[in-house]
A and B are shown apart, each in its own frame.
Chain A
Amino acid sequence: MCLGIPGKVVEIYQANGLRMGKVDFGGGVLREACLEYTPDIALNDYTIIHVGFAISKIDEKEAHETLALLAELDMLGEELPELAKDEPDA
């Protein structure tokens, strides 16, 4: 759970008083994440998500490269099991 996973912010909204968003990790996997700690993040930006919280902004190329490498290192499964199985999150 220590590892951050890069994804793209595809929706931003407020829920229970928190700035939240939908983050697309690729392969059809979408997850809700809290954007409270990244007030500067806008729609379509890429970010690193730690246990459901965006921590830092990164660029798109970096995001794709890191995701591919995490997959190669078998490190995605423990963070987001759907990504490892390559199944869309219904």
Chain B
Amino acid sequence: MKHLDEYRDEALTRRLLDELTATVTRPWRLMEVCGGQTHSIMKTGLHDLLPPQIELVHGPGCPVCVTPLELIDKAIALASRPDVIFTSYGDMLRVPGSGRDLFSVKAAGGDVRIVYSPLDALKIARDNPAKTVVFFAIGFETTAPANAMAVVQAKAQGIDNFAVLVSHVTVPPVIAGLMQESGVQVDAFLAAGHVCAVMGYWEYGPLAEQYRIPIVVTGFEPVDLLRGILMAVRQLEQGRHEVENAYERSVTYEGNQPAQAIIQRAFELCDRKWRGIGTIPMSGYRLRAEYAALDAEQRFPDVGAIQTAESSLCISGLILQGRKKPFECPAFGKECTPQTPLGATMVSSEGACAAYYRYGRYRDAIAEAEKKSS
């Protein structure tokens, strides 16, 4: 466990913790939505410093983790075609599909390339006119403006050997989805700061109102997280349920308007399946009809009907909903490790299983769980 004096801003961290201790009078469960926040909490051991009444549960905000298995399998099928160059953000390559992952397609000679930006994929398309370049357009609202721009550019410039396999997800509908699930007990949400840098936080007001739940826009640095937690706990203690911003230096109420405008231009809302969770109404983006020619699923219709098979051991769906912690999975650290991942949450560092594994939290956690059950 990390000690308080190892924190960059020890004095401020201490002050926030003291204030939190003085504020909290009863148990509260807070969900951090963003996987980057989960990672930061685990790496810095922040959760160990919190007053015992406050429990952090980890949410579905890992884009790699929630991309549905069908689409991973489609990606693998497309990447295996000799006429395709498949391009993807790096963290998708080791996500297990039903049989194998993209990395093994690459190892077997498939042309699979990691790109940092979707504009890099567009450049590959310009440079390789004889192949179709498919880009795996996944992510939350953080990657949507970039992925949308690639599509808009491809159409404007007539780059017709470019296509996208779209699996975009959005945060507000999954918050609503979790609140409607029985079995998910969350008293407040820490909304993802980077998502809100793009989208602002105007979308969250109706959610806070309808579910009577505080939602606080929070960054991922330890001090930011503590400020977000404190603001949420204050609301809970005072019986308020509002949307507040604890990350003012990067997030405005309106968000980035030009970015939102391009998202609107390329994408429209659709029902989306989340891996492990199921279909959530209007929780994703798909291409608008004007861009249908750029849709990889339409261009390669034969990759449509794929039989999927999820590992029978993996409980990542429950973990993504904050209903279970990684150490409660029987496969955790045994059959399932970052080297041999059975589920997507063990792959990306934004996934809760990987975060627990990497920072050794599972040892304390297993001990804690055993104590509770005995």
Contacts and interface: CB of A to CB of B under 8 A. Distances in A.
A53 B197 CA distance: 12
B277 interface: no
Interface in A43-90: 48, 50-53, 55-56, 58, 62, 65-66, 68-69, 72-75, 78-81
Interface in B217-274: 220-221, 249-251, 256, 258-259, 262
B43 interface: yes
A81 to B, nearest CB: 7
Contacts of A34: 117, 119, 146, 149
Contacts of B153: 16-18
Contacts of B116: 31, 51-52, 79-80
Given A2-B34, A62-B249, A55 B43 contact: no
B89 interface: yes
B149 A66 contact: no
B349 A56 contact: no
B145 interface: yes
A45 B116 CA distance: 22
Nearest to B223: A69
A48 B163 CA distance: 27
Nearest to A3: B36
Nearest to B258: A37
Instruction: Report the interface size class on chain B.
Output: 35 or more
A74 B119 contact: no
Nearest to B192: A2
Interface in A5-52: 16-18, 31-34, 36-39, 48, 50-52
A52 B63 CA distance: 17
B130 interface: no
B143 A50 contact: yes
Contact of B140 (A2, A33, A62): A2
B24 to A, nearest CB: 26
Given A1-B89, A31-B116, A55-B145, A69 B34 contact: no
Contact of B250 (A31, A56, A79): A56
Contacts of A33: 117
Interface in B176-222: 192, 194-195, 197-198, 220-221
Bin the interface of chain A by size: 35 or more
A3 B197 CA distance: 11
Given A50-B194, A75-B349, A2 B146 contact: no
A66 B220 CA distance: 10
Given A37-B259, A66-B221, A74-B349, A2 B35 contact: yes
Contacts of B143: 1-2, 50-51
Nearest to B157: A16
Interface in B30-63: 34-36, 39-40, 43-44, 61-63
A72 B45 CA distance: 13
Nearest to B193: A4
B119 A81 contact: no
A50 B142 contact: yes
A41 B305 CA distance: 46
B91 A78 contact: yes
A37 B194 contact: no
19 contacts: A1-B89, A1-B91, A1-B139, A2-B61, A2-B62, A2-B350, A4-B197, A33-B117, A34-B117, A36-B149, A37-B145, A48-B250, A50-B194, A50-B198, A52-B146, A53-B146, A66-B221, A69-B8, A78-B90
Closest 3 CB pairs of A and B: A52-B117, A1-B89, A37-B259
Given A1-B142, A2-B350, A52-B116, 18 more contacts: A1-B63, A2-B62, A2-B140, A4-B194, A17-B153, A18-B149, A34-B149, A48-B197, A48-B250, A50-B143, A50-B145, A51-B142, A52-B117, A52-B119, A56-B197, A73-B43, A80-B116, A81-B90
Interface of A: 1-4, 16-18, 31-34, 36-39, 48, 50-53, 55-56, 58, 62, 65-66, 68-69, 72-75, 78-81
